[in-house]
Structure 1
Amino acid sequence: MFAIMEATRLEALHVAQDSATGLKAIIAIHNTRLGPALGGCRYLSYPDEQSAIRDAARLAQSMSYKAALAGLAQGGGKAVLIRPAHVHNRGALFEAFGRFIETLAGRYITAVDSGTGSADMDCIAQHTRHVTSTTAAGDPSPHTAMGVFAGIRASAHARLGSADLQGLRVAIQGLGHVGYALAEQLHEAGAELLVSDLDPGRVQLAVEQFGARPVVSAALLSTPCDILAPCGLGGVLNAHTVAQLRCSVVAGAANNQLTSPQVAEQLEARGILYAPDYVINAGGLIYVALTHRGESLPAITTHLSRIASRLTEIYAHAQAEKRSPARVANRLAERLLYPL
């Protein structure tokens, strides 16, 4: 456990269990220099507790970097709830989690993530105010998609010479709330869509609504395209999969797309422009953070527009310094999180 904390420079790791509801919760707080830790709550099955801790720690670190480069007065955190084999009362489980969050006295604010929704946040909100993405606050997914779309345009301009997406072939891996909203925006911009998802119903809907071409998940990464947009779970880019890519740009919504820092260098060596995931997918965090602070929708939209300019800045530094965009983004974030 402490090795994981040291490797990710985690400030604190909190765990709790409640036998009455089956709650097994992990809250990782990475860095609170800029403000209280904010990050989503995952509710997934894990092969073991170490895997859950490792996932929470890595995601919390990404949230710190994401908040810093998005210009938010927030730190990074993440909650992982290990999904039990049988859940007798889901609402009671999330209420128990809300009581756990309240014991941290505002050091961590939760939000929706993989496996959770606004109804779960409503249950949490019965016992703590340190929660967003409730039914009243609204779904952050469309705002994540808006930011990713803007980031794709900035990435296309940087690598392909134009932000016009008309006729470009974009491969979307994952058609969840964010991936599907992104597909809609790309379709409206005239992009040709290739799509894959574990749910064949979502794929069929994209085919019918956007004229998308379905591709089996195993083949999508090696399918020729201009832009690959990973929008599912993380870890999709490793030494093996990067060698198969036939695209010019990787720019998508998934968190922790790279299995290791070396993968970013492999992408760079292959001449594939990589949009650092925690920069391009910051729209959801911006929405939940500013909504929680009571900001107006126009103010949130203005803040979202900075995602494209931040990516453009990173690409310029990367080109000038002959470094990968991932290394540049990490360095810029760490200057804000760990000033001398």
Structure 2
Amino acid sequence: MQTMTISPAADALDIGDETLAGHERVLFCRDDESGLRAIIAIHDTTLGPGLGGTRFKAYPSDQDALHDVLRLSRGMTSKNAAAGLPFGGAKAVIIGDPRTAKTPELLRAYGRFVDSLEGRYVTAADLGTNSDDLDVIGEVTTHVTGRTAAAGGSGDSGPATALGVFSAMRAGAERQWDEGLKGRVVGVEGAGKVGGVLTRLLLDAGATVVVADPDPAARERVSAATGGAVQLAETLTGPELDVYAPCALGATVTVERARSFGARLVCGAANNQLPTPHEDAALHAAGILWVPDYVANAGGVIHLAGAERLRRSPEEVTADVRRIGDTAREILTRSAESGIPTGAAADEVVAARLAAARA
């Protein structure tokens, strides 16, 4: 049996200590036959349908899952607005261990919930899901992006995410040191599909790269792909780094951690990098330049939206991704001229674009 609970759009519905106020719709989805338990959060559709990935993860509690999807969906509103895309913010989480719980039946059940929203939410891949999974979801809904090329999609968006982070990082280096990344020591935290591509781009730019990941196999894959040109570590240590690039889980960026690495620039692919909003001002006061995560990591959604929804050519999509560097420069300049933290400057850009759309 499939069941779905929809939160009131305008009410402040509390579940534990988490409020749903500010979200247009939050759906709690369950399919007993497949074992599916999922939450779809639509934050803001001012600019268009909510576009954001589906995270498949074993959460400690349902409260943790709810907290994650609410933060992620808010971030997608900011990401899509900052990138200039005609899409709003939404995200979903499937609760469970993807290594054991993921089945075609479960993915199809989830796809039917997505389809029931009639286009208000367009899903994509995230942690724990990939293009093959999206092919299965796409069997029951058209509101999906990032399927394999064989299924009519544009494939893995990881390389585009990495290119966007690289473009933003180069803009940050120009602001912090009046030069590019050549000769800088960059610590990449996370040797997944984004971190691996980012590492190769950094090496091509003349940077020295330290790649950290707790998984030895992941580290070795990056080492093999780069001909052993990187330094490998289980965790990042300092103080030899110039740049800290968080490309794994969020909530890892603090002033204390950046200082322990010696990093003066923070720019990476992870979502929700700051554990609290107060870290934005703290980083600014410490002279550590942070390129806001939702600006730097927008390459993936630009790729998916451009290639599959806006029907742009591969060359046009790549150019759009590279323009993340220009967006980063605009925000860093606003921060410097106004004397405000970079996150606050990015939020001002997003707020202006949303206000213009509402008007």
TM class by shorter chain equals: over 0.9
Number of residue equivalences: 335
SS of the equivalent of 1:304 reads: helix
**Are 1:159 and 2:173 counterparts?**
no
User: In 2 relative to 1, CA 200–85 (structure 1 residues): closer, same or farther, beyond 3 Å?
Assistant: closer
Contact 1:4/1:57, CA 8 A, preserved across alignment: no
Runs of 4+ residues deviating >4 angstroms: 84-89
Structure-to-structure mapping, 1:50-61, within 5 angstroms: 50-61=63-74
Q: Which residue is 1:236 aligned to?
A: 252
The letter of the residue matching 2:56 is: Y
SS of the equivalent of 1:145 reads: helix
The letter of the residue matching 1:213 is: Q
What is the TM-score normalised by the length of structure 2?
0.89
CA–CA distance in structure 2, aligned partners of residues 98 and 37 of structure 1: 15
Q: Which residue is 1:31 aligned to?
A: 44
Q: Which residue is 1:141 aligned to?
A: 158
CA–CA distance in structure 2, aligned partners of residues 167 and 242 of structure 1: 19
Contact 2:24/2:44, CA 8 A, preserved across alignment: yes
Q: Which residue is 1:203 aligned to?
A: 219
The letter of the residue matching 1:4 is: T
**Are 1:130 and 2:146 counterparts?**
no
Q: Which residue is 1:291 aligned to?
A: 307
**What is the RMSD computed on CA atoms of the aligned residues?**
1.7
Q: Which residue is 2:19 aligned to?
A: 4
Post-superposition Cα deviations, 1:303-330, rounded to whole Å, max 9, x if no partner, equal: 1122011110111110111111111101
The letter of the residue matching 2:302 is: I
Structure-to-structure mapping, 1:54-69, within 5 angstroms: 54-69=67-82
The letter of the residue matching 1:214 is: L
User: In 2 relative to 1, CA 89–5 (structure 1 residues): closer, same or farther, beyond 3 Å?
Assistant: closer
Contact 1:173/1:229, CA 8 A, preserved across alignment: yes
CA–CA distance in structure 1, aligned partners of residues 328 and 269 of structure 2: 14
Post-superposition Cα deviations, 1:283-320, rounded to whole Å, max 9, x if no partner, equal: 00001111221221112112112201111011111011
Give the deviation of 1:202 after TM superposition.
Answer: 2.1
Post-superposition Cα deviations, 1:185-216, rounded to whole Å, max 9, x if no partner, equal: 11111110111012112223333424211223
**Are 1:216 and 2:234 counterparts?**
yes
Of 93, 107, 111, 1:98 maps to 111
CA–CA distance in structure 1, aligned partners of residues 279 and 308 of structure 2: 35
Of 14, 17, 20, 2:27 maps to 14
CA–CA distance in structure 2, aligned partners of residues 221 and 232 of structure 1: 16
Of 319, 333, 337, 2:350 maps to 333
CA–CA distance in structure 1, aligned partners of residues 183 and 219 of structure 2: 20
**Are 1:191 and 2:204 counterparts?**
no
Unaligned runs of 5+ residues in structure 1 are none
Of 174, 177, 197, 2:190 maps to 174
Contact 1:169/1:225, CA 8 A, preserved across alignment: yes
User: In 2 relative to 1, CA 84–21 (structure 1 residues): closer, same or farther, beyond 3 Å?
Assistant: farther
Task: Determine what percentage of the aligned residue pairs are the same residue.
Answer: 38
Contact 1:187/1:210, CA 8 A, preserved across alignment: no
Structure-to-structure mapping, 1:242-253, within 5 angstroms: 242=258, 244-253=260-269
CA–CA distance in structure 2, aligned partners of residues 198 and 59 of structure 1: 24
User: In 2 relative to 1, CA 106–249 (structure 1 residues): closer, same or farther, beyond 3 Å?
Assistant: same
**Are 1:302 and 2:315 counterparts?**
no
Contact 1:31/1:75, CA 8 A, preserved across alignment: yes
User: In 2 relative to 1, CA 241–166 (structure 1 residues): closer, same or farther, beyond 3 Å?
Assistant: closer
Report which stretch shifted further, 13-22 or 237-246: 237-246
CA–CA distance in structure 1, aligned partners of residues 100 and 267 of structure 2: 36
Contact 1:21/1:89, CA 8 A, preserved across alignment: no
**Are 1:315 and 2:332 counterparts?**
yes
Q: Which residue is 1:324 aligned to?
A: 341
CA–CA distance in structure 2, aligned partners of residues 175 and 87 of structure 1: 23
Q: Which residue is 2:127 aligned to?
A: 114
Q: Which residue is 2:6 aligned to?
A: none
Contact 2:184/2:208, CA 8 A, preserved across alignment: yes
User: In 2 relative to 1, CA 85–288 (structure 1 residues): closer, same or farther, beyond 3 Å?
Assistant: closer
User: In 2 relative to 1, CA 200–336 (structure 1 residues): closer, same or farther, beyond 3 Å?
Assistant: same
Give the deviation of 1:229 after TM superposition.
Answer: 0.5
CA–CA distance in structure 1, aligned partners of residues 325 and 210 of structure 2: 23
What is the TM-score normalised by the length of structure 1?
0.94
Unaligned runs of 5+ residues in structure 2 are 1-12
The letter of the residue matching 1:318 is: S
Contact 2:111/2:138, CA 8 A, preserved across alignment: yes
Q: Which residue is 2:5 aligned to?
A: none
Contact 1:155/1:312, CA 8 A, preserved across alignment: yes
